[in-house]
Amino acid sequence: MRQTLLAGGRLGLVLLALQAAPVVAQSVRFTAATAIANESAGTISIPVAITNSGAASTVQVALVTNLGTATQGTDFTYPATQTLYFPAETTVNQTLTIPLTDDVLAEGAEYFTLRLQNPTNATLTAGSTEVLVYIRDNDTQAPTQTRNLTLNRLGSYQNGAAGTNSAEIVAHDPTTQRLYVANSVGGKLDILSLANPAVITSVASINIASYGGINSVAVRNGVVACAIENADPQQNGSVVFFDQNGAFLKQVTVGALPDMITFSPNGQLIVTANEGEPKTDYSVDPEGSVSVIDFSGGIAGVTQASVTTVGFAGYNSQAASLRAAGVRLYGGTSASPSSVAQDLEPEYVAVSADSRTAYITLQENNAIATLDLTTRQFTSLRTVGYQDHSQAGFALDASDQTPEILMANWPIRGMRQPDAIAAFEVAGQRYLLTANEGDAREYNALNEINRISESAYVLDPTVFPNAALLKNAQVLGRLNVTNKLGDTDGDGDFDEIYALGGRSFSVYNASTGALVHDSGDLLERVTSTDPTYGAIFNASNTTGNPSRKNRSDDKGPEPEGITTGTIRDTVYAFVSLERIGGVAVFNVNDPGQPKLVQYVNNRSTTTGTGDQGPEGIVFIAPANSPTGQPLLLLANEVSSTVSVYSIQGRGVLSNKAARNAEPLHLYPNPSQGGKVQLSRAVSGTLHDVLGRPVRTLHKAREFETVGLATGVYVLRAEDGASSKLVVR
């Protein structure tokens, strides 16, 4: 009897223990946050897992309608919510099989989203209730390259050891056939001979350290002008002049942190973009500015009185209207915000062919300023606008964590933030080209960068109900974005997502600022489909071995340098890609529809060799070339190399035909009487409207119009160029 009681007592204790133990509910989840399939696969299988087996259970799988670009019934088949059944006592995954349509449309990667809902006898695993399914297109072809021009690399000059030297900016002087290289890492001005473009040789190397830090260089007729930042970068910088051999000539003071320098086409002016960056704690924040140096009397006439530095203080009272117009103004600290003049940071300058107008990119501010070089006054300050990456033609590869290149559309806006700018003219209309690299402010007192996945970057739950999925590393979680734009209602979370850089180049009407063309996702499509360089798509420009896609979560290929060149009757744009490397060439005779000509690169896809980090880019017209053929120079900052490409057209370009490509501009035009300046020395004849010769020129850079009747005239140069002149 006692044993029975003991046994019964033990059984009771066990039953009590079982009743007291917590019951672990069954839980269902997607096994991954993303899935990828080629559209030609026919189907894609999506596994759903269950844990803690118990009673039979079910879960519904619904199509999410607010996060997807693929179309149900066209790209895939999922007509209604489906139910998955899990038998009792099972931990076996259930698989949802979804038919895919292999269409014949060339399109980017598309995606759709599924959600688990309404479970029975189970719960949903938090954070694993949605899956984003990518469909990779198999019909997209590489963008067509017309190849009516061919760039052939003649060689790359190693400008000192990479890492301890650099080749950031290069300038060419046709009077000496020398190159002048801004070696900012080495603190030197390097002088090279281009007499034989295939074998560049060193002439001299000038230590710049005693003047400050070299940022840029320009040259004209043997006079070399260097933009030099102060040893204390927040103080005023300088322009230091050297002769063709590097002997010091003069030095004048300009604004803080001169970052770029250029001569006007007529050689009468020198212009610097003075960035005026703050100290990292914002204890000192100099004003951005543009300095204009009167060089009309040559180097002999240059004194400090020749320098006019123009700031933006006149815009200080317009901060609210500028922000409303799209100009980014956000510098400083909450206790001491920057003024407009302090916030604007000039990056790069382009001067019009008539040397009367300068166009200045304000990269961090996403804007362009226009400066009248006659009055030394700013005449406009305009935003360059934003990309809409949800629209066709503006896709991007947004993650460095996906194994495949997925050029897809997303609810993201891209800040164009142009670096280099160039001006060109077609049919009498002036246009601007910008390389939309992107840049962020990263200081101790102000850091505008967040990854979307960071907890500090809160997406508005109403606008982004799928925020948890978007924050996944294989979706948008790794993408770097700004925290200074997107909180449209001021409640502390982000209603819009703004990424850094446009990953494109743009064309603008110079007079109105209107956008004429944006290349959208073309540069990423060109590089991703390149038979060689697709292997290092969106790789960084670091000196180590390239890592494919490791810049997809940043700014992609980062177009940085841009210039134009005219060959025969065609204007070409050359765009350098700082990260993956190389240069893309476009025919811009129709500025609204540029045509891709060629993409070339000279970087190893397996080792850290070749040309890396192209920044400075120079087109050498045939008349200025040592070979009589057009050339293109790239200054590759990271590899510290200067690469030279010959440019060949279909058929042989004779010297005369090549010279015809050199533009000829007259100014002032119209002329009110007096002297008319020429953009270059010309021998030729000025004809009236009836074709009669009225002036004969011999290697002239100017001529007199006094005595000419009111009317239209045409100057025809011996090399075939011509230009119309209106006399009033």
Mind giving me the DSSP string for 309-327?
Answer: EEESGGGGGGHHHHHHHT-
Where does the pLDDT of residue 264 fall: very low under 50, low under 70, confident under 90, or very high at 90 and above? very high
65 secondary structure, DSSP code: S
Which burial class, exposed, middle or buried, applies to 158 when counting CB atoms under 10 A from its CB (0-12, 13-18, 19+)? middle
Where does the pLDDT of residue 6 fall: very low under 50, low under 70, confident under 90, or very high at 90 and above? very low
Look at the block and give the residue holding tokens 């269950």: 50
**Whole-number mean pLDDT of the chain?**
92
pLDDT (0 to 100) of residue 693 = 67
709 secondary structure, DSSP code: P
Rounded to whole angstroms, how far apart are CA atoms 635 and 166?
Answer: 9
pLDDT (0 to 100) of residue 24 = 58
**Degrees, nearest 5: CA angle 448-452-455:** 90
How large is the average pLDDT for residues 148-172?
96
pLDDT (0 to 100) of residue 653 = 44
Rounded to whole angstroms, how far apart are CA atoms 525 and 584?
Answer: 12
- The pLDDT of residue 492 is above 90: yes
Residue 447: CB atoms within 10 A of its CB come to 13
pLDDT (0 to 100) of residue 649 = 86
How far is residue 585 from each of residues 573, 650, 656, measured CA to CA in Å? 6, 15, 23
Contact 479, 406 (CB under 8 A): no
Where does the pLDDT of residue 385 fall: very low under 50, low under 70, confident under 90, or very high at 90 and above? very high
Where does the pLDDT of residue 20 fall: very low under 50, low under 70, confident under 90, or very high at 90 and above? very low
pLDDT in tens, 305-317: 999 999 999 999 9
How far is residue 532 from each of residues 604, 643, 706, measured CA to CA in Å? 10, 19, 60
pLDDT (0 to 100) of residue 665 = 85
Q: Three-class SS of residue 479? A: coil
> 24-136 with 149-439+501-649: one CATH topology?
no
Look at the block and give the residue holding tokens 């982000």: 494
pLDDT (0 to 100) of residue 4 = 36
- Token duo for residue 47: 């596994």
Which burial class, exposed, middle or buried, applies to 159 when counting CB atoms under 10 A from its CB (0-12, 13-18, 19+)? buried
pLDDT (0 to 100) of residue 660 = 43
Contact 381, 388 (CB under 8 A): no
- The pLDDT of residue 638 is above 50: yes
Rounded to whole angstroms, how far apart are CA atoms 144 and 116?
Answer: 43
- The pLDDT of residue 656 is above 50: no
Rounded to whole angstroms, how far apart are CA atoms 232 and 237?
Answer: 9
**Percentage of the chain exceeding pLDDT 70:** 94
Rounded to whole angstroms, how far apart are CA atoms 244 and 251?
Answer: 16
Where does the pLDDT of residue 18 fall: very low under 50, low under 70, confident under 90, or very high at 90 and above? very low
Query: Edge-to-edge strand order for the sheet containing 559-567?
Result: 559-567, 570-577, 583-587, 595-600
- The pLDDT of residue 715 is above 70: yes
Please give the model's pTM, rounded to 2 decimal places: 0.88
Residue 89: CB atoms within 10 A of its CB come to 9
315 secondary structure, DSSP code: G
Rounded to whole angstroms, how far apart are CA atoms 711 and 303?
Answer: 40
How far is residue 135 from each of residues 66, 140, 520, measured CA to CA in Å? 17, 13, 21
- The pLDDT of residue 405 is above 90: yes
pLDDT in tens, 554-579: 999 999 999 999 998 899 999 999 99
Where does the pLDDT of residue 691 fall: very low under 50, low under 70, confident under 90, or very high at 90 and above? low
Which of these, 61, 65, 125, 123, lies nearest to 98 by C-alpha position?
A: 61
How large is the average pLDDT for residues 100-104?
95
CATH number of 149-439+501-649, picked from 1.10.287.130, 1.20.1250.20, 2.130.10.10, 3.40.50.300 = 2.130.10.10
DSSP string, 109-151: -EEEEEEEEEEESSEEPTT-SEEEEEEE-S---PPP---SEEE
pLDDT (0 to 100) of residue 689 = 56
pLDDT (0 to 100) of residue 393 = 96
Contact 565, 621 (CB under 8 A): yes
Rounded to whole angstroms, how far apart are CA atoms 473 and 591?
Answer: 38
pLDDT in tens, 494-528: 999 999 999 999 999 999 999 999 999 999 999 99
Give the pairing type, strands 27-30 and 123-124: parallel
Which burial class, exposed, middle or buried, applies to 201 when counting CB atoms under 10 A from its CB (0-12, 13-18, 19+)? exposed
For the chain, the structural domain boundaries read 24-136, 149-439+501-649, 664-727
Query: How many Cα atoms occupy the beta-carbon half-sphere of 580 within 13 Å?
Result: 34
Where does the pLDDT of residue 367 fall: very low under 50, low under 70, confident under 90, or very high at 90 and above? very high
Q: Is the dihedral of CA 325, 331, 337, 339 positive or negative?
A: negative
23 secondary structure, DSSP code: P
- The pLDDT of residue 15 is above 60: no
Look at the block and give the residue holding tokens 């002239």: 700
pLDDT (0 to 100) of residue 697 = 78
Amino acid at 261: I
Topology annotation, domain 24-136? Immunoglobulin-like (2.60.40)
How large is the average pLDDT for residues 357-373?
98
Rounded to whole angstroms, how far apart are CA atoms 669 and 700?
Answer: 17
Phi, psi of 58 (to 5 degrees): -135, 160
Which of these, 157, 168, 179, lies nearest to 224 by C-alpha position?
A: 179
Where does the pLDDT of residue 692 fall: very low under 50, low under 70, confident under 90, or very high at 90 and above? low
pLDDT in tens, 602-617: 999 999 999 999 999 9
- The pLDDT of residue 657 is above 80: no
Where does the pLDDT of residue 345 fall: very low under 50, low under 70, confident under 90, or very high at 90 and above? very high
In DSSP terms, 726 is beta-bridged to 712
**Degrees, nearest 5: CA angle 209-215-221:** 95
In DSSP terms, 308 is beta-bridged to 292
DSSP string, 81-94: -EEEEE-TT--PPE
- Token duo for residue 109: 């990667």
Rounded to whole angstroms, how far apart are CA atoms 298 and 476?
Answer: 55
Choose the most confident range, by mean pLDDT, from 102-106, 358-362, 650-654, 674-678: 358-362
